[in-house]
């Protein structure tokens, strides 16, 4: 079905319009500090169905509930434990999602039939105003077609969802560029399910003992229990195959130069520092300086999307990761997205 998608600006009038559309059961893409979210009233079953259809998202992949006041947590759960309270006191509003047991009144279609609910209080002022004006918490998964890189600008949402959703509010480019850190409080020891801008170190400054879920670093075996359904799906993939090259600058550049002799249509997705060593004529795109993970986060999804506009056969991404020795930091968060974009296809030259 083709919808006449409204394009809204980031001003008071259009924020009210976005809320009116949401109140009447529409779905609207809104900016947040992480990525753009595709919002709907969490209690409107038909609106939530529209989200799954517009994104082509599997129904068992649950949605995060977005609130604009910490007290709203008490409408969603009876188990707001002290550890979770202390953590959000420090990091909300912000890029942190907590998972708690859900109240009966939280609809099953937003939780993928799980007994738990994911909750976030975004820091983005426009997102906060839209939630407040709408008067109910909003579910808001990333506003991309399922499987594609998450959207960090109006143009990305337009590319994936124009004519499929009721409106897009243009709030410019997202500051962080990666989705929120997700931490579950369903077990005795809290479990980090998705790395993001709020790091393991940040969390452990409040909660000393946490578990890092296996899915953060590696592909789950078929018989392993999936705690976060989103982690089992193909994610973040552009059109061309992505291969990660875990390597020093020298080995990466040699690898790329040799590959080019066999196939002139490869793309080097590299660090700024590699550029001066890559042979003329080789197609390249940089995703930031090697040790600036804020810049890499902000650029990553845009760069993955930009590769779709270049005629290429394969994408060779430079990474430099002794990942298992590291703390779960922003570098891990970037790696977590890249390794999924690559379908866990990594060549180690270290
Ligand atoms: P997205 O909305 O695209 O940022 O994805 C939301 C992520 O949160 C997915 O990976 C989901 O699997 C995860 N998630 C949401 N709700 C739950 C939940 N109740 N339990 C575990 N993971 C969840
Ligand atoms: Mg997503």
pLDDT of residue 226: 79
pLDDT of residue 218: 83
Residue nearest ligand 1's atom 10 by CA:
230
For ligand 1, whether the C-beta of 230 sits within 6 Å is yes
Q: Which of 199, 216, 233 is the last residue of a domain?
A: 216
Residue 262 and residue 156 share a domain: no
- 253: in domain: yes
- The DSSP code for 341 is H
pLDDT of residue 255: 97
Residue 212 and residue 250 share a domain: no
For ligand 1, whether the C-beta of 116 sits within 6 Å is yes
For ligand 1, whether the C-beta of 213 sits within 6 Å is no
pLDDT of residue 319: 97
**Extended strands (E) in the chain:** 6-8, 28-30, 37-41, 64-66, 96-101, 116-120, 138-139, 167-169, 181-184, 191-194, 211-212, 242-246, 267-270, 283-286, 315-319, 346-348
State the ligand closest to the CA atom of 34: 1
- Say how many Å lie between the CA of residue 32 and the centre of ligand 2: 13
For ligand 1, whether the C-beta of 114 sits within 6 Å is yes
What distance in Å separates the CA atoms of residue 185 and residue 162, rounded to the nearest whole number?
A: 37
- 222: in domain: no
For ligand 1, whether the C-beta of 171 sits within 6 Å is no
What distance in Å separates the CA atoms of residue 234 and residue 259, rounded to the nearest whole number?
A: 26
Quick one: which atom of ligand 1 is closest to the CA of 150? 3
- 237: in domain: no
Supply φ then ψ for residue 27, to 5 degrees: -120, 135
Strand pairing class (191-194; 116-120): unpaired
345 CB-near residues (< 8 Å, 6+ apart): 241, 242, 243, 244
For ligand 1, whether the C-beta of 336 sits within 6 Å is no
Residue with tokens 């997705």: 269
**Residue 219 pLDDT > 90:** no
Residue 271 and residue 179 share a domain: no
pLDDT of residue 217: 85
What distance in Å separates the CA atoms of residue 47 and residue 227, rounded to the nearest whole number?
A: 26
- 233: in domain: no
**Extended strands (E) in 42-144:** 64-66, 96-101, 116-120, 138-139
Band of residue 346 on the pLDDT scale cut at 50, 70, 90: very high
State the ligand closest to the CA atom of 160: 2
Residue 131 and residue 70 share a domain: yes
Interval 149-158 mean pLDDT: 98
For ligand 1, whether the C-beta of 34 sits within 6 Å is no
Q: CA-based diameter of the chain, in Å?
A: 62
Residue 91 and residue 172 share a domain: yes
- Say how many Å lie between the CA of residue 292 and the centre of ligand 1: 27
Contact 96, 36 (CB under 8 A): no
Please tell me the least confidently modeled range out of 41-45, 58-62, 137-141, 233-237: 233-237
- 252: in domain: yes
Please tell me the least confidently modeled range out of 99-108, 178-187, 210-219: 210-219
Summarize pLDDT for 224-269 with one digit per residue, the tens. Answer: 777 887 777 778 989 999 999 999 999 999 999 999 999 999 999 9
Contact 134, 124 (CB under 8 A): no
Interval 336-346 mean pLDDT: 94
Contact 231, 329 (CB under 8 A): no
User: DSSP readout, 110-122?
Assistant: GTTT-SEEEEE--
Quick one: which atom of ligand 1 is closest to the CA of 229? 12
Residue 193 and residue 287 share a domain: no
Our mutation pick for probing the ligand 1 site, out of 73, 193, 333, counting the most ligand atoms within 8 A of Cβ, is 193
For ligand 1, whether the C-beta of 99 sits within 6 Å is yes
For ligand 1, whether the C-beta of 229 sits within 6 Å is yes
What distance in Å separates the CA atoms of residue 105 and residue 117, rounded to the nearest whole number?
A: 11
pLDDT of residue 322: 67
Summarize pLDDT for 280-338 with one digit per residue, the tens. Answer: 899 999 999 999 999 999 999 999 999 999 999 999 999 998 655 568 999 999 999 99
Residue 153 and residue 31 share a domain: yes
pLDDT of residue 324: 56
Our mutation pick for probing the ligand 1 site, out of 29, 30, 77, 118, counting the most ligand atoms within 8 A of Cβ, is 118
Orientation angle between helical segments 293-306 and 154-161, nearest 10 degrees: 30
For ligand 1, whether the C-beta of 17 sits within 6 Å is no
- 229: in domain: no
Residue 271 and residue 207 share a domain: no
Q: How many domains does the chain have?
A: 2
Q: Which of 180, 201, 216 is the last residue of a domain?
A: 216
- Say how many Å lie between the CA of residue 97 and the centre of ligand 1: 9
What distance in Å separates the CA atoms of residue 324 and residue 318, rounded to the nearest whole number?
A: 17
pTM assigned to the model: 0.96
Interval 151-159 mean pLDDT: 98
CATH code of residue 321: 3.40.50.11030
State the ligand closest to the CA atom of 186: 1
Residue 190 and residue 73 share a domain: yes
Domain that holds residue 283: 242-348
Of 183, 163, 142, 71, the closest CA to residue 301 belongs to: 142
- 82: in domain: yes
State the ligand closest to the CA atom of 187: 1
For ligand 1, whether the C-beta of 147 sits within 6 Å is no
CATH code of residue 57: 3.90.870.10
Q: What is the mean pLDDT of the chain?
A: 95
Residue 188 and residue 114 share a domain: yes
Residue 338 and residue 303 share a domain: yes
Residue 145 and residue 13 share a domain: yes
Residue nearest ligand 1's atom 21 by CA:
228
- 235: in domain: no
State the ligand closest to the CA atom of 102: 1
């Amino acid at each position: 079905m083709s919808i006449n998608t409204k394009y809204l600006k980031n001003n008071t009038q259009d924020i009210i319009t976005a809320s009116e559309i949401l109140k009447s059961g529409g779905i609207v893409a809104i900016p947040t500090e992480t990525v753009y979210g595709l919002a709907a009233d969490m209690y409107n079953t038909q609106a939530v169905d529209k989200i799954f259809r517009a994104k082509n998202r599997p129904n068992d992949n649950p949605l995060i509930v977005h609130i604009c006041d910490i007290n709203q947590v008490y409408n969603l759960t009876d188990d707001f434990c002290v550890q979770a309270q202390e953590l959000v006191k420090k990091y909300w509003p912000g890029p942190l999602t907590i998972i708690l047991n859900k109240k009966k009144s939280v609809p099953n279609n937003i939780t993928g039939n799980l007994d738990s609910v994911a909750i976030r209080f975004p820091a983005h002022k426009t997102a906060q105003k839209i939630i407040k004006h709408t008067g109910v918490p909003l579910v808001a998964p990333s506003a991309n077609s399922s499987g594609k890189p998450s959207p960090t600008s109006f143009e990305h949402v337009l590319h994936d969802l124009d004519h499929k959703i009721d409106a897009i509010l243009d709030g410019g480019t997202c500051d962080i560029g990666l989705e929120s850190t997700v931490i579950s409080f369903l077990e005795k020891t809290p479990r980090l399910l998705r790395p993001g801008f709020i790091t393991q170190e940040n969390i452990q400054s409040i909660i000393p003992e946490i578990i890092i879920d296996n899915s953060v670093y590696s592909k789950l075996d078929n018989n392993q229990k999936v705690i976060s359904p989103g982690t089992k799906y193909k994610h973040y993939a552009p059109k061309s195959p992505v291969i990660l090259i875990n390597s020093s600058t020298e080995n990466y550049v040699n690898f790329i130069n040799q590959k080019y002799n066999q196939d002139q249509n490869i793309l080097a997705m590299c660090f700024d520092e590699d550029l001066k060593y890559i042979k003329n004529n080789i197609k390249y795109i940089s995703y930031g300086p090697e040790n600036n993970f804020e810049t890499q986060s902000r650029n990553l999804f845009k760069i993955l999307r930009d590769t779709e506009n270049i005629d290429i056969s394969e994408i060779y991404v430079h990474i430099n990761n002794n990942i298992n020795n590291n703390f779960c930091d922003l570098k891990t968060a970037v790696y977590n997205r890249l390794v999924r974009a690559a379908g866990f296809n990594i060549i180690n030259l270290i």
